[in-house]
Structure 1
């Protein structure tokens, strides 16, 4: 089944608004990271390493998967973050080819400040984000809209 032009236009407008709200948050996040003297990907790396589920050995492969980066790009990001004392890397006792990552004391300090800032911003943005997400959800419940989404 095809959407009518009106339904398609409504869906496009709904997705555009949701994407705009997401982008507003991402722009805030990027600016906050840069203000903290971090590259935005370093902030994402710190989040993924520090926020890994308990018992997870955070390796380069794990970080690459969580960040959506290739292995070699993640190695470069970890190298840069280690040089800046944000990340610590140790060799896995059981597999000498693997490095285990953890956030350094300096990295934790920066991450705590950024996380506080992000929580405040999300609290302010939450009503708009939830409203936009709810509209997408309502459109996706329509059998016609579900085919597009």
Structure 2
């Protein structure tokens, strides 16, 4: 394998721009969540419940993986969201030790409004996050 090519000024500019735009998006997302009465982490939790592939619920362990958080921290987060009326817990049908977390109507409404706003912003950032812009940096290493 040939040695990696030297990083150029353009590489650093590309990486800087990518991180800048990513941070702008994350800041927007944080502010949008707070405008709906959610913390940014609560918004992500609702998103991961709704967006879990193939079904309308997720387990605590699956959510911990998606959030890259500790199991006990996710349990606390789910408890707070359940108390606020955004989520519900149900005992698993196949494995009664599992807890299935689902959105309530209130949680689904808040998530839907936020997802619409996020989609608009993501569309405006599509050029920044294009694969070829990111891969141009990777091609140099």
TM-score with structure 2 setting the length: 0.89
Shift of 1:64: 0.5
Is structure 2 residue 12 aligned with structure 1 residue 12? yes
Shift of 1:57: 5.2
How many angstroms apart in 1 are the aligned matches of 2:128 and 2:137?
A: 17
Q: Which residue of 2 aligns with 1:100?
A: 100
Per-residue displacement from partner, 1:71-116 (whole Å, max 9, x unpaired)? 0110011000000010110111333322101110000000110011
Structural RMSD (CA): 1.8
Partner SS, residue 88 of structure 2:
strand
**Aligned pairs (5 A) from 1:1-149:** 1=3, 3-4=5-6, 7-55=7-55, 58-130=58-130, 134-142=132-140, 145=141
How many residue pairs were aligned? Answer: 139
- Consecutive unaligned residues in structure 1, runs of 5 or more: none
Indicate how the Cα distance of structure 1 residues 38 and 47 shifts in structure 2: closer, same or farther if over 3 A, else same. same
Per-residue displacement from partner, 1:51-71 (whole Å, max 9, x unpaired)? 111247510001111111110
TM-score with structure 1 setting the length: 0.84
Point out the structure with the larger helix share.
1
- Consecutive unaligned residues in structure 2, runs of 5 or more: none
How many angstroms apart in 2 are the aligned matches of 1:112 and 1:70?
A: 27
